Structures are given as C-alpha cells and as structure tokens.
Amino acid sequence: MVELKNINSLLKLNNGVTIPCVGYGTFRTPNDVAEKAVEDAINVGYRLIDTAAVYGNEEGVGKGIKDSGIDRHRLFVTSKLWNTDRGYESTKKALDATLQRLQMDYLDLYLIHWPANRKQFGDKAAEINAETWRAMEDAYHEGKLRAIGLSNFMPNHYQELMKTATVAPAVDQIEVHPGWTHAEEIKFLQAHNVLVEAWGPLGGQGASVMTNPTMVELAKKYGKSTAQLSLRWILQQGVLPLPKSVHADRMKQNTDIFDFEISDEDMQKISALPNLGGQCRVPDDVDF
Ligand SMILES: NC(=O)c1ccc[n+]([C@@H]2O[C@H](COP(=O)([O-])OP(=O)(O)OC[C@H]3O[C@@H](n4cnc5c(N)ncnc54)[C@H](OP(=O)(O)O)[C@@H]3O)[C@@H](O)[C@H]2O)c1
C-alpha cells in the first residue's frame, strides 16, 4: 500500500485518476449549512468532497466551494445519481442537473447511489442497472466525469453489472464502521481493483461506535479519540473514509489520524465488535 501521510495523500483509481485518501461527507447537511461547512472543510484541508443529489445540498456545496476561493481543479468532487433517476435518458438528465446545481462542468466521480434490486424490480433490476451504467460510461467518455463508480453495490450486483459494462467501476462506496464491517465484500471489491469508500465511518447519527467501551479503551491506549480510532481502522484496511461533521474542530480532529498505527491484534478486536448501530441496510432489501 502507498504510504499515507495526511488526508491528501493520493490513492490511484483503476483508470489512473488519483483521489485523496480521506474525504469530507455532507449527508444531512442542508444547503444553508452546507455552504459554510464545505468552505470550512476546504480551509481545514479536505480536498475530496462527497455529496449526492438526494442530499438536496448540491447548490450549497457548490457555493461553499466557490466561497473558499480554491481552484476547482485542486478538488475531487463526488456526487451520486438518485434511485428515481435510473435508466439511460434520466441518468444523463440527472447528471446535467447535478452539474448545474454544483455550478461545475465536470465531476471527478459520479456514483450510482443504490443498485436497483430484485425485491423491487424482479428480473428487470439487472437491465435497469446496466442502462444506468451505460449512460455513466457515455458521460465518462464525453469528459463530464473523470471516474465512475457504484455505491451500495454488493458483489452480486457488481458481477451482474460486469456482464455488460465496458468501463469497470472505479469505486464502490458502502457502509463501513466498527460493528458493520463488510469484510468479505471489501476483500472481493479490492481483489477486483475497485477502491472501497466507507460511508458512515463513525457509525452516522445514533450509533454507539464512538461510545462503545472497547473503542473507548483502545482510543485511550493510542491517545486518540474514538472517532479517530474508527477512521484509522478503516484506512488500515485500504478503505477510504468519508467522515462528516459540521463543526470545524471535529473536521480537523478527523484529519489527525496519520501519527499512529493500530496493531494487528487491536484491528481484529475492533473488527470483532458486535453490531453498534448505524443504518446497517442490506441493499437487496431496501424499498426506496
Ligand atoms: N452512499 C451512501 O449511501 C451514503 C449513505 C450515508 C452517508 N454517505 C456519505 O458518507 C458520509 C459520512 O456518513 P454519515 O454522515 O452518515 O456519518 P458519519 O460521518 O459516520 O458520522 C457523522 C456523525 O458523527 C458526528 N461526528 C463527526 N466527527 C465527530 C467527532 N470527531 N467526534 C464526535 N462526533 C463526530 C457528526 O456530528 P456533527 O456534524 O454535529 O459534528 C455526525 O452526527 C456522508 O456525510 C455522506 O457523504 C453515503
């Protein structure tokens, strides 16, 4: 693995494009809050900004980026196609609307937010995902997207998609935090040269990842916060965490994870923790 020195140490995607190893999340951050939060995050040092059409904050994220005064080319901006926009034509339209809201002419990475699943779409699910992906591939070839990828795709969805894909997905963004490890899926995706991004790396709202006694004890041992321990545990698996905070002090704290190394034994202890809450959704079971 590349030596990671700070949040902007670069990882290489399967198409050669580079991506900072830690990103900034913007879920549950409405437009008015997002503008200031994104500007703060850029000032703190984040260069990878993760948003999605369904967060309803792409305008705010775009304004925050403008307000920061940073050159667009120094950022890595990700957004995601929402479920109601699947299909070839609607994906193309949804991407253009996203670009307009962000006030940008390209994205660094665009993801299919959730796979169409069999529970909702029966035998049509695979075809819907294939058509959505075909639109992403076309936008990639047109230069609107520097990389394309997936979110919440499990190995079965990935394998199905690869029957028709002509561009291999560069990224899969899935829920990963202590208590919800997705270890097998990470192994599978990495073996297929897909960079795994961790959403909810702190467990998201309402989880007990940051208060769990084992996490507290281990964090103390390393002289770090439980949030930092969780992020470091993710990084050491070769996975890219996307912590979200609207508080500048926490944004900063979440970047300070490069001056310690979790031992193999402690990595395993964290990996063995029981479910600590979080969204813990199973993509084949979701009904949205
Ligand atoms: N692809 C998907 O389906 C999907 C789904 C969910 C999320 N995501 C992406 O992943 C990002 C992260 O996930 P998430 O937002 O659900 O959850 P998260 O980053 O795991 O956790 C965010 C929560 O932790 C708090 N927090 C942050 N840093 C902290 C610290 N150092 N100490 C204590 N508390 C801290 C935040 O509060 P404050 O903000 O008040 O500080 C917020 O309540 C999202 O923002 C989004 O970009 C993607």
Show the tokens assigned to 255: 């970047």
Q: Which residue's CA lies nearest to atom 5 of ligand 1?
A: 199
The two three-digit tokens of residue 204, written as one number: 């998201």
pLDDT of residue 1: 56
pLDDT tens digits, one per residue of 38-69: 999 999 999 999 999 999 999 999 999 999 99
Centroid of ligand 1 to alpha carbon of 29 (angstroms): 10
pLDDT in tens, 165-183: 999 999 999 999 999 999 9
How many whole angstroms from 174 Cα to the centroid of ligand 1? 13
CA neighbours within 13 Å on the CB side: how many for 10?
Answer: 9
pLDDT of residue 65: 98
Q: What are phi and psi of 197, to 5 degrees?
A: -105, 140
Q: Whose CA is nearest to atom 39 of ligand 1?
A: 245
pLDDT at position 205 is: 87
What is the CA(137)–ligand 1 centre distance, in A?
29
In ligand 1, the atom with minimum distance to the C-alpha of 199 is 10
Tell me the β-bridge partners of 98.
none
Mean pLDDT, the chain, rounded, equals 97
CA distance linking residue 20 with residue 77, whole number of Å: 11
Region 235-251: what's the mean pLDDT? Answer: 98
**Ligand 1 pocket: which of 50, 202, 210, 282 to mutate (most atoms <8 Å of CB)?**
202
Cα–Cα distance, 26 to 34 (Å, whole number): 7
Q: Label residues 182-212 b or e (16+ Cβ within 10 Å = b).
A: beebbebbeeeebbbbbbbbbbbeebbbbeb
Residue 151 alpha carbon, nearest atom of ligand 1: 1
Q: Where are the domains of the chain?
A: 10-208+239-246
Distance CA 231, CA 216 (A): 14
CA angle at 178 for the pair 175 and 183, rounded to the nearest 5°: 65
The residue nearest atom 47 of ligand 1, judged by CA position, is: 25
How do strand 18-20 and strand 10-12 relate by DSSP bridges? antiparallel
Determine the residue of 215, 244, 250 to mutate for testing ligand 1's pocket, defined as the one with the most ligand atoms within 8 A of the Cβ atom.
Answer: 244
pLDDT higher than 80, residue 255: yes
C-beta separation of 28 from 205 below 8 A: yes
Q: Which fold would CATH assign to domain 10-208+239-246? A: TIM Barrel (3.20.20)
Q: What is the 3-state secondary structure (H, E, C) of the chain?
A: CCCCCCCCCEEECCCCCEEECCCEECCCCCHHHHHHHHHHHHHHCCCEEECCHHHCCHHHHHHHHHHHCCCHHHCEEEEEECHHHCCHHHHHHHHHHHHHHHCCCCECEEEECCCCCHHHHHHHHHHHHHHHHHHHHHHHHHCCECCEEEECCCHHHHHHHCCCCCCCCCEEEEECECCECCHHHHHHHHHCCCEEEEECCCCCCCCCCCCCHHHHHHHHHHCCCHHHHHHHHHHCCCCEECCCCCCHHHHHHCCCCCCCCCCHHHHHHHHCCCCCCCCCCCCCCCCC
Q: Which residues line ligand 1 (CB under 6 A)?
A: 25-27, 50, 113, 151-152, 173, 199-205, 210, 225, 227, 242-247, 250, 253-254
Q: For residue 204, report the distance from its CA to the centre of ligand 1, in Å.
A: 5
Q: How many residues does the chain have?
A: 288
| pLDDT number for residue 2 | 67
CA 167 – ligand 1 centroid, Å: 30
Report the atom number in ligand 1 closest to the C-alpha of 230: 20
Residue 158, pLDDT > 70, answer yes
**Whether pLDDT at 96 is above 60:** yes
- Sequence letter at residue 287: D
Q: How far is CA 263 from the centre of its chain?
A: 25
The residue type at 220: K
pLDDT (0 to 100) of residue 206: 87
Q: Which atom of ligand 1 is nearest to the CA of 254?
A: 31
pLDDT of residue 56: 98
- Residues marked active site are found at 55
| Residue 177 labelled as part of a binding site | no
